[in-house]
Amino acid sequence: MTLLAESFTKETPARQMGALASTLGRIASSAEKTARVNAIIPMLDECLRFIEWTASHQTPAASKELQDISAMLKLWRDAWEHAQTDERLRRLLSVQARKWSDLALEYSGLLIQT
């Protein structure tokens, strides 16, 4: 197990979802910037690993949503070489990643005030 995997899996499921939301947020803010296009693939891969490690610890609804997000992230990763040259596609990834980030944060419950 890598250091990242060990560290991530020691966190609570809520914090795991928070970490996923954070990385998705970084994708959203980086995707539109042409200077940051090379950073996208590692962030997509990180999200895919986070989803793999946390999906079984989430509610059934969250797990299903994570499976769908994972499928879309894989498509983006596989198409990124082409997509990174198209401003509209970079914007689309940015919008989708922001939506997924918000959803992961919502599922995490970290924003619920007690």
Average pLDDT for 102-111? 94
63 has a pLDDT exceeding 80: yes
- The tens digit of pLDDT for each residue in 92-103 reads 999 999 999 999
62 has a pLDDT exceeding 70: yes
Tokens 């560290």 map to which residue?
7
Helix axes 87-108, 13-31, angle to 10 degrees: 160
The one-letter code for the residue type at 12 is: T
3-state secondary structure at position 112? coil
The pTM (predicted TM-score) of the whole model is 0.93
Which residue ranges make up each domain of the chain?
A: 21-107
- The tens digit of pLDDT for each residue in 15-60 reads 999 999 999 999 999 998 877 788 999 999 999 999 999 999 999 9
3-state secondary structure at position 59? coil
